[in-house]
A and B are shown apart, each in its own frame.
Chain A
Amino acid sequence: MDREIIIGLETHVELKTKSKIFCSCSAQFGGEPNTNTCPRCLAMPGTLPVLNKQAVEFAMKAALALNCEILPFCVFDRKNYFYPDLPKGFQTSQYTYPLARNGYIDIKVNGKTRRIRINRIHLEDDAGKSIHEKNYSLVDLNRAGVPLIEIVTEPDIRSPEEARLYLEKLKAILEYTEVSDCRMEEGSLRCDANISLRPFGSDKLGTKTEIKNLNSFRSVQRGLEYEVWRQNQALDNGEEIVQETLQWDEDLGVTVPMRSKEEAHDYRYFPEPDLVPTVITEEWIEAVRSTIPELPDSRFKRFVEEYGLPEYDAEVLTASRPVADYYEACLKFCPDPKAVSNWVMVDLFALLKANNMELADCLISPENLGEMIKLIKEGTISSKIAKTVFEEMFKTGKTASTIVEEKGLVQISDEGELRALVERVVAESPKSVEDYKNGKKKALGFMVGQVMKETKGKANPQLVNKLLLEILDN
């Protein structure tokens, strides 16, 4: 039987504020274990939380970018449970009165736009990290107290692919607003999924399971695909789905139930008496709204309309803000949108991928890339030579003209110089000449190749072609 897939996602995103949410310790990732700590985030007796205003503003910014409504006030609650990396013995979260509600993200699935509604966004503090060794465990509290937002969708997602697309779009939007690094591998973006199946046409939700440990976009899709298969199998066999929390095992490619001990929590939420409610005024909201940059959707539209880019190019280039910024910076130096798009999307991406690098680490400045493309257009270098120059730029960060000069890569466009060379090649290739005259046009290519070889690729190919034809057809 074919069943409808119902998925809701809960995504935790670390905010990259300067300091932690309730103390002034650095919120930076990494550092020697337990160095970014103080009496407050170690939950020493007698310490009290002081709310970091920047954390609230980052959360507001994210909420606004996700089309949410910011509520006039929010209240922190204590979420009680014991774990060694949870210093206070409770997480300070928001339960009854979250920061924001009723947002959405539009995603494109097979060319159609789908709207995924966001139920709520709330602010909370992160726990530390437990490192489990064979006979003992270690606790690093550097991360304890780093601000988090939890973004909870409505059960609007209808396939594992949509789940991945939603997350990718979420990441893009949050990166644009610069409130988070959204690095899944560093845990600054973490995702749990709720999934159930039901017969098409039914308006009743089936029993859901929750999947944790979905640590990459790939595992979100794979984990959900597996769970869809597993639930379908179970239902086909007449079994009932058990409501439980599952752990995605990336290596085995299966979901496995967590031990009930780990999931049977009564969190006993109640309002945090050490913090007064946070009042958020319209003025504050507007001030934060004014700091939100152009977001992916409108940038995509603009790229298509203003630069005449194909939708595919615009999609790829606007998927991440650094790329879109880089692209537009290049245009300032070389106003040829499609040429720049090709170099960024094809050549630059290929080199970054091959070297396992991020755009931020790239040595080629937008100005230098722009200049290089200009050199091609002016005929100073050939497109073929440009590939070599580009690789050199990528390695050294030098400008294209410097490389061209140092390596003597300037294209030979001197007709007299080339004519002599072409005549020599023709004289030395009687067989090819004969083939050409017998109608084998391919022979021409061979002779062009010979000229290029003689000039180490520097000969202007159009000119060589033209000269060859002149000589041969005479």
Chain B
Amino acid sequence: MKLNELTAHRLHEMLINREVSARDITEAVFNRIDEVEDELKAYVRTTKDLAYQQAEEVDQKIQRGENIPPLAGIPIALKDNICTKGVHTTCSSKMLENFIPPYDATVVEKIKENSAVIVGKTNMDEFAMGSSTETSAFYPTKNPWDITRVPGGSSGGSAAAVAADETIVALGSDTGGSIRQPAAFCGVVGLKPTYGVVSRYGVVAYASSFDQVGTITKDVTDCALLLNVIAGHDSNDTTSVKREKVDYTKALIDNVKGLKIGVPKEYFAEGLDPEVEKAVLESVEVLKSMGAQCEEVSLPHLKYALPTYCIIAMAEASANMARYDGIRYGYRTPEASDLIELYKKTRSEGFGNEVKRRIMLGTYALSTGHYDAYYLKAQKVRTLIKQDFEEIFKKVDVLLAPVTPDVAFRLGEKVDDPLTMYLTDSLTVPANIAGLPAISIPCGFKEGMPIGLQILAKHFAEATLLQVAYTFERNTDFHRRKPNYKGQEGGKN
């Protein structure tokens, strides 16, 4: 297999055994990018010079016989809403097309401290608002399993890049499913940690009380390794939680005996594709056969999850987008005769339709006369949904559910129908509403397209979640399959 097709933990072994150099790995990744990027469009921008420079530093460390951390020399792609000092951070928006942050996001500082090699910034739905990466102001990204289909979104670029071996690992952000849904569509592993586990400082806000940075990797082990790097309290983000440092690789245990699994019936409601349902239920059986106990459970308020999410997320978004006014940075309309016109034209020209739609809906939900019926009501329902989960997690350790109602849809299929598009998030938003950790791992295929299995756990129970995911992965082959996109070898890692 080519180097770029391997996992981070495998490459780490090869690096410390001096079988390969970080430069070799970086080269393999950039060769792959050259090979497929024209068609796939997973990246907004690659950072080749920076990458080779970082790889060089790692190689020198190895030469000097120094110990290197697990992700040293490992190529990583960053979703383009994660601020990188001196490197454009566009959020795939015309508004920030030329924006170069003067600072690194906390997660980027951590990535750099761990000597991972930053390959580039990945394409996304504009300001993370979308479920297909089609709302990118630049171009849509394609799904390497079928280039007529979407990779999902909003972290579609990151998921496609990992699936197509254009990077080894990637970071995304998940506000309503933006890591898990594209991970499911692209057949890779995507983790949204508990709200507060990873610092949001330097991650361009979409909906602040939901946003969480997470990992997109080729397997669960890489997921744990990358989570080890990015997790932790940050004094720059007061919503990040002070907890003792956890080594998530310790959770990689191939054993689920006695573990209690809940299967929430509301996730299997109308609109779920039968083949997806079948794959997920078969996954439950797999874990059962490994000794897990299963029971059907119910989350009565889950049917309100999507509208609750939409109202609160869009309300927060409407305020978060207010800073893009053409005054200090970002796009400014070339001509305006007064202040109001400057605002109107800048924002009309700089934002795409989906962003405008969410600003308007959010503004409406917060307006005098509508606040109680929308925003306040949604906050109350949010509490009810949280309580539903709290009750359930008194009884079970994890919940198993589908990630998406169906496999990846076709480019253009839903982009002009916002409501249908929002519905694709219906199974992922509950975890964001409650701030719970949730992971998507490959669990089957439909018409050659990957299906994702969603595992949810209670707050800060990432370890439990990883244990279940790891056990499933060790006892199935779904994660080993590659899209066979342009010469991928696939097979065993």
Contact = CB atoms under 8 A, between A and B. Distances in A.
Interface string A264-298: 00101110011110000000000000000000000
Contacts of B236: 48, 50
Contact of A44 (B321, B329, B375): B329
A446 interface: no
B209 A45 contact: no
A329 interface: no
Interface stretch (A79-87, A172-180, A379-387): A79-87
Contact of A45 (B83, B208, B368, B371): B83
A42 B318 CA distance: 18
A80 B319 contact: yes
B239 interface: yes
A45 B328 CA distance: 11
Contacts of A51: 238
A47 B201 contact: yes
Interface string A42-57: 1111111111000000
A88 interface: yes
Contacts of B143: none
A274 B202 contact: no
B367 A268 contact: yes
Interface in B35-66: none
Interface in B284-330: 315-316, 318-319, 321-325, 327-329
Interface of A: 39, 42-51, 78, 80, 82, 84, 87-90, 137, 139, 261, 266, 268-270, 273-276
Task: List 10 A-B pairs, minimum CB-CB distance, nearest first.
Answer: A89-B322, A268-B366, A273-B209, A273-B208, A45-B204, A46-B202, A43-B323, A46-B83, A46-B204, A89-B323
Given A46-B83, A87-B323, A270-B316, 9 more contacts: A44-B83, A44-B101, A48-B239, A50-B236, A80-B366, A268-B363, A268-B366, A270-B315, A274-B208
B381 interface: no
Contacts of A266: 367-368
A43 B328 CA distance: 9
B209 A275 contact: no
A88 B315 CA distance: 15
A270 B319 CA distance: 10
A274 B238 contact: yes
A137 B340 CA distance: 13
Contact of A274 (B96, B102, B239, B323): B239
Contacts of B323: 43, 45, 87-89
B239 A90 contact: no
Contact of B103 (A44, A49, A82, A275): A44
A139 B327 contact: yes
Contacts of A139: 327
Contacts of A261: 340
Interface string B183-218: 000000000000000001111110111000000000
A374 B492 CA distance: 99
Contacts of B328: 42-43, 87
A268 B208 CA distance: 17
Interface of B: 81-83, 89, 91, 96, 99, 101-103, 105, 200-205, 207-209, 235-239, 315-316, 318-319, 321-325, 327-329, 339-340, 343, 363, 366-368, 371, 375
A274 B203 CA distance: 12
Contact of A46 (B203, B238, B315, B339): B203
B335 to A, nearest CB: 14
Contact of B238 (A39, A87, A275): A275
Given A50-B236, A89-B319, A82 B325 contact: yes
B238 A48 contact: yes
B181 to A, nearest CB: 22
A46 B327 contact: no
A84 B339 contact: yes
A268 B82 CA distance: 28
Nearest to A130: B339
Contacts of B82: 46
Contact of A270 (B91, B205, B375): B375
A266 B203 CA distance: 28
A51 B238 CA distance: 8
A46 B327 CA distance: 17
Contact of A80 (B99, B204, B322, B325): B322
Nearest to A141: B328
Contacts of B209: 273
A307 B443 CA distance: 88
Contact of A89 (B89, B325, B367): B325
A45 B99 contact: yes
B82 to A, nearest CB: 8
A90 B103 contact: no
B238 A78 contact: no
B322 A88 contact: yes
A65 to B, nearest CB: 28
A8 B371 CA distance: 28
A440 B201 CA distance: 92
Nearest to A261: B340
Contacts of B329: 42, 44
Contacts of B319: 78, 80, 89-90, 268, 270
Given A266-B367, A266-B368, A273-B209, A48 B101 contact: no
Contacts of B239: 48, 273-276
A48 B375 CA distance: 22
Nearest to A37: B328
A48 B366 contact: no
Nearest to B83: A46
A80 to B, nearest CB: 6
A47 B238 contact: no
A210 to B, nearest CB: 18
A44 B102 contact: yes
Contacts of B324: 89
Contacts of A84: 325, 327, 339
A90 B322 contact: yes
A33 B95 CA distance: 26
Given A90-B322, A270-B375, A39 B367 contact: no
Contacts of A269: 366
A196 B101 CA distance: 50
Nearest to A40: B236
Which of A43, A48, A88, A275 has its CB near the most chain B CB atoms (within 10 A)? A48
Given A270-B366, A274-B239, A275-B238, A46 B101 contact: yes
B491 to A, nearest CB: 40
Contacts of B315: 270
Contacts of B363: 268
A152 B237 CA distance: 31
B66 to A, nearest CB: 32
Nearest to A85: B327
Contacts of A46: 81-83, 89, 101, 105, 200-205
Contacts of A90: 319, 322
Nearest to B127: A45
Contacts of B202: 46-47
9 contacts: A45-B323, A46-B202, A48-B236, A48-B238, A51-B238, A82-B322, A89-B325, A268-B363, A270-B316
A85 to B, nearest CB: 9
A50 B327 contact: no
A276 B242 CA distance: 13
Contacts of A47: 201-202
B325 A45 contact: no
B339 to A, nearest CB: 7
Contacts of B205: 45-46, 274
Given A39-B102, A268-B363, A270-B315, A45 B200 contact: no
A48 B322 contact: no
Nearest to A23: B236
A87 B327 CA distance: 8
A451 B325 CA distance: 80
Nearest to B205: A46
Contacts of A137: 339
B297 to A, nearest CB: 29
